[in-house]
Amino acid sequence: MKTVIEASEAVALGAKLSRVKVCPMYPITPSTHIPERISDYIFDGEMDAEMIHVESEHSAASALIGSILTGARSFTATSSNGFELMYEILPILSGMRLPAVMAVANRAVAGPINIWNDHSDAVSARDQGWVQFYVESSQECIDTIIQCYKIAEDKNVQMPVMMCLDGFSLTHVFENVDIPEQKQVDSFLPPFKREDILDVKNPKTFGPIGLPDSFMNFKKQQQDAMINAIDVIKKANLDYKKLFGRGYGDGLIELYKMDDAEYAILAMGTICGTAKAKAEELRAKGKKVGVIRLRSYRPFPVEALKKAFKKLTRLAVLDRHISLGSDGPLFTEINAIAPGLDVFGYIAGLGGRDVTLDHMESVYLDLETGKQKREWLM
């Protein structure tokens, strides 16, 4: 069914279509519309699920542990400092290999207090063992939530997944969305069945102490699972495309006008749309420019990125986050895997600062001249 809905509702519909059973929620702007819509579905009898009204985001993340260990497919959503309050629980969920799924409505982390978009919340948690997707549209929101469960619950992964969508500039935007039919989703995503669950008749220990002689082994297993996720993500994207007619690059990265591009911008999230619009304009003037949209930040798709860089002369990386005292984290990682390629790093869009077509044109001009005029797009 095709309709016009808000991206937040697309996320909620994705959870509903995935037959989520438990939703521990604590609302925070700009993710609030997600639990609101799920509440509507449950109250109206459209969704057979339980919403747990917890006292904090820390409690929401903690409740995911219990709900998943009872064998229930579970979901939550958060943002910004609420996400930071979950931080203690994030590595516990991944360390216990629990396939939680969470939507993060990306918002600047205070202070000063700011409710607008950048990626400082989720990118700060890149090392906590969660698969991280960054999406660009409402359609991608609903499609990716469904794929998140397929990936998280795969026997070769069994890791939590967060889907990141830009606060306000996506969460509150109404777009055309093709809503999948429940029967189609059921054929793509089988029921959640977990072998190890909390059962008084068959007691087991979950989350025991990891002593020095074993802790690294657990971490190595997590690393192996994240590397396994690369192929699982690609397959989930391909299978979804075959069934629904929609895919997002290879699932890891999405290329735009890159076949003969000499210069390109690489970024995550909605600013890629602005970069594409400027690339289209410059292409009409004979400029060989393109855009690389990084969809999977974790696992980091090194080989796919290296392949995308092969024909480039120069590359610009736009970060909506800065590691204070260093550089943009995305720039740092891209620069490390692209020896011999001239890589320019830019800090852009912090705290909701507009990233305009003029900004993109200035970046492409830097790439063409080989001289970077500024690092902060202000």
pLDDT of amino acid 165? 98
Average pLDDT over residues 296-311: 98
Q: Which CATH number fits domain 253-377: 3.40.50.920, 3.10.450.50, 3.50.50.60, 3.40.50.150?
A: 3.40.50.920
CA–CA dist 328, 322 (Å, integer) = 4
Residues 79-124: tens digit of each pLDDT:
999 999 999 999 999 999 999 999 999 999 999 999 999 999 999 9
**pLDDT reported for residue 316:** 98
Q: CATH topology of 2-244 equal to that of 253-377?
A: yes
Average pLDDT of span 119-146: 98
User: What residues does each domain of the chain span?
Assistant: 2-244, 253-377
Beta bridge partners of 298: 132
Query: What pLDDT shows up at residue 279?
Result: 98
pLDDT at res. 65: 98
pLDDT of the residue at 248: 98
What percent of the chain is predicted at pLDDT more than 90? 99
- Report the pLDDT averaged over residues 350-359: 98
The predicted structure's pLDDT at residue 69: 97
**Average pLDDT over every residue of 214-237:** 98
Tokens 């579905």 belong to: 41
State pLDDT tens for residues 60-76: 999 999 999 999 999 99
Residue 76's DSSP bridge partners are 102
Q: Does domain 2-244 have CATH number 3.40.50.970?
A: yes
Q: Give the DSSP per-residue string, 146-175.
A: HHHHHHHTSTTT---EEEEEETTTTTT-EE
| Of residues 193, 197, 192, 206, the one with CA closest to residue 95 | 206
Q: Going by C-beta distance under 8 Å and a sequence separation of 6 or more, which residues neighbour residue 36? A: 27
Contact 258, 305 (CB under 8 A): no
Q: What is the pLDDT averaged over residues 301-314?
A: 97
Q: Say if residues 162 and 122 touch (Cβ distance below 8 Å).
A: yes
Mean pLDDT of the chain: 97
pTM, rounded to two decimals:
0.97
165-180 tens-digit pLDDT: 999 999 999 999 999 9
Distance of CA 367 to the CA centre of its chain: 28
How many angstroms separate the CA atoms of 7 and 137, rounded? Answer: 7
CB count within 10 Å of CB 174 equals 13
305-309-312 Cα angle (round to 5): 160
Mind giving me the DSSP string for 249-313? TTSSEEEES-SS-SEEEEE-TTHHHHHHHHHHHHHTTT--EEEEEE-EEES--HHHHHHHHTT-S
Q: What is the pLDDT of residue 134?
A: 99
Peptide bond into 329 cis (omega under 30): no
pLDDT of 112 reads 97
Average pLDDT over residues 140-163: 98
User: pLDDT value at position 3?
Assistant: 98
| pLDDT on residue 132 | 98
Give 175: exposed, middle or buried? Use CB within 10 Å, 0-12, 13-18, 19+.
middle
Across residues 244-269, what is the average pLDDT? 98
